[in-house]
Structures are given as structure tokens and as C-alpha cells.
Amino acid sequence: MKKIRVSLLTKVVIAIAAGVLFGQFLPGGIARIFVTFNSLFGNFLSFSIPLIILGLVTPAIGDLGKGAGKLLLITALIAYGSTVFSGFFTFLSGSAIFPHILPTNTELTAMENPEDFMLTPYFVVNMPPLMDVMTALLLSFTIGLGLSNIAGTTLRDSFTDFKEIIIKLIEVVIIPLLPLHIFGIFLNMTVSGQVMSIITMFLKVIIVIFALHVLLLLIQFTIAGAIAGKNPLRLLKNMLPAYATALGTQSSAATIPVTLAQAVKNGVRENIAIFTVPLCATIHLAGSTMKIVACAMAIMIMAGEPVTFSNFSGFIMMLGITMVAAPGVPGGAIMAALGILQSMLGFNETLQALMIALYIAMDSFGTACNVTGDGAIAVVVDKIAGKNTP
């Protein structure tokens, strides 16, 4: 009998619906069992975040040094610039839109001290992390840059093995338990009487982000078309098969063959496309960055927290670097971002869980935006490389 696979998005939607439903009648004593699990899982996630950063970011940065050259540097800078532009574009757009469509001073303002109004766990087990998030980030950058500039392979191989351990941790432990964690969060919020405001916020944010995705792609291909002297709408139209494939697979890596073929169809030389597309699938996550920034802004506005350019500018710049660890790992983008959400924006466990749920609800759209934008970068790199590049 063929085993039926259920996508993570489906599991998350079921978890949210079940949390809202069971929260209507489940006795408080039973509900606290799930709240206790949430406490344990949340503490374990806090323990894991520095390890996830160290295990994913370090080898990702180290691998950028392989075959390093002028074209690699150019492509990496363009990809980073596109990702950061997406973050600031989202911030400015969200600042103009979200205050008018999202309610403030709601029950979510109490999320900073959820124990004051939500069910509490039966017991708490502290799981202190080995290092704080900023230490893990700095250590990852230091070691990763070092690995990209040395000839030895022993340490690189060690971090490659460590990356495999972290990927197993995410795939076998964290991702399978996420739906249960999200179920517990929405169960607790339903019991506390604030779930409807959260659901309404989800729908509004999803609509805004989808519209911003379309605008971002139009901007990316308008710039690419202007640089290459080509029709931007035709370039974008040719990339639509890659967009559709990414919607179905929810994976940048799985979409590479289609993205590659469509980039060549756009006139990109095959050797440039073969170099650019897989690299951008690793380091260019403009769509994912847009989702994370928009979701973080929405949750902070709902929680009554100040959303300022000063606190988001550093967050966006750091997010652009952290995103290189995300591709190829289920839920990798939001997992890699949890550390800086915690350290730079002050997100606690409950707000992180809301971020995860909201992010996963749009996971396929973000991936589709990422890979489609890769086609625009390929066109630009092909133009910059010039006719002298074989």
C-alpha cells in the first residue's frame, strides 16, 4: 500500500483548526498537558537555535569560497542586494499598510507575559543554550569565512557532518513536532479568548504579502530588463513555469532544473545559467525575506510593540546573511531566522510559534518568488559577464 504524504502546510492548517475547535470545550486540566508540551518544546527550541545557526550558516558561508572568483563575488553581491532590497521594500510597504488594517492594543499585547492570562504548564524544565544567538552568529561568520579561505578540508568536513546532524534534528524532531506545538499555542489562545483576532490578522497579512510578491517580481525583472535591454514582461512570462513548479514542490533545490531551462530560454548563456541558478537557489531568498519581515512587523504591531526603521534595518541586513543557511532544509528559512528574531526583535517562544505558523502558511509562495527572481539575476549576471566570458 502506497503511503500518503501530508505536506507540512496541511499539517499546520489542521493543527490551527484543531486548536481553535478543541479550545471551545476541552477542560483546562487536559489543555494544560499540551501547554506543558509547548513549554518543553519551546525550551528545547531555544536550546537548539544557536546549534542550528552554527550548523547551517558556517558551512554555507564556507562553501561560497569554492571556485571563488570575480563572477562568484558579483553574483553573491547582487543576490544579497536583492534580498536586502526585498526586506526594506517590505518594511516601507508594511509601514504604510499594516497600521491601517491591523488592530492594535489587542489581547496579543499580553504575549510578553503570557503567564498572566494564558494557561500555565504543569512543570517547566530549563534548557539553557550553550551560547547566545549573537555569539553563534559571530562564530559562524568567523569560521565560515576562514573555511572559505584555507586549503585544508578537515574542519570543513567536520562542519559538513555537523550540518547533517542539524538537518536530521530539524527533519526528524523539530519539523514533525511543530504542528503539535502550533496546536497547543492556538488551543491556549482559544481558551484565553483571543484567537479570532489572530486568525483575522493571518488572512490580512497573507493577502498583503502575496501582492507585495507580485510587485517585487515586477521590480526585479524591470531592472533586469533595463540592464540587459530586454522586455521585462517577456522575461517574467518565461519564468512562470519555474514559479508554478516551486508552488508545487515548495523547494528551491527541486525547481533548479526548471529554473535553469527557463533562464536559458530568456537568452542567458548555458554556462552562466548553470553557474548562477544553483548558486542563487542557495543565497537568494528575497521572497522568504519578505515573508519574515512582513510577518514580524504584523505580529509586533498586533502586540503593541514599536516598529521602527532603526530596529528593523539591522535585522534586515543580518537576515540577508542568515538566509544563506535556509535552502534545502524544510522550514529552513524561518528556523535560521528564529535566532535574530529573538535577539534583535525580542520575540519570545509564543511569538516565535506564531511566526512559524504564519510563515509556513505562505511557504510555497515565498519559494516561488525566490526561484523566479533567480531568473532575473541570471539575466543581469549574463550581461555583466560580457561576450568575452565563454
How do residues 359-378 score in pLDDT, each as one tens digit?
877 777 888 888 899 999 99
pLDDT at 197: 63
pLDDT at 124: 81
pLDDT at 268: 87
pLDDT averaged over every residue in the chain: 79
pLDDT at 5: 57
Residue 239, pLDDT above cutoff 70: yes
Q: 352: how many CB neighbours lie within 10 A of its CB?
A: 22
What torsion, rounded to 10 degrees, do the Cα atoms 209, 214, 219, 224 define? 130
Could you give the 3-state DSSP secondary structure of residue 115? Answer: helix
Sign, Cα dihedral of 148, 150, 151, 157: negative
Distance CA 212, CA 217 (A): 9
Residue 204, judged by CB atoms within 10 A of its CB (0-12, 13-18, 19+), counts as: middle
Confidence category of residue 148, pLDDT binned at 50, 70, 90: confident
Q: Which of 47-51, 86-90, 275-279, 384-388 has the highest mean pLDDT?
A: 86-90
Residue 114, pLDDT above cutoff 70: no
The whole-number average pLDDT for the span 203-222 is: 90
Domains in the chain: ranges and CATH: 6-383 (1.10.3860)
- Closest Cα partner for 35 from 139, 191, 158, 148? 191
Task: Give the list of residues 6+ apart from residue 73 with CB closer than 8 angstroms, or none.
Answer: none
pLDDT at 225: 92
Confidence category of residue 63, pLDDT binned at 50, 70, 90: low
pLDDT at 67: 47
pLDDT at 112: 47
pTM for the predicted model, two decimal places:
0.71
User: Are 330 and 168 spatial neighbours (Cβ–Cβ below 8 Å)?
Assistant: no
pLDDT at 90: 93
pLDDT at 217: 93
Q: Which of 24-38, 169-183, 210-224, 281-295 has the highest mean pLDDT?
A: 210-224
Angle between helices 363-385 and 270-283 (to 10 degrees): 140
pLDDT at 110: 46
Residue 145, pLDDT above cutoff 80: no
pLDDT at 108: 53
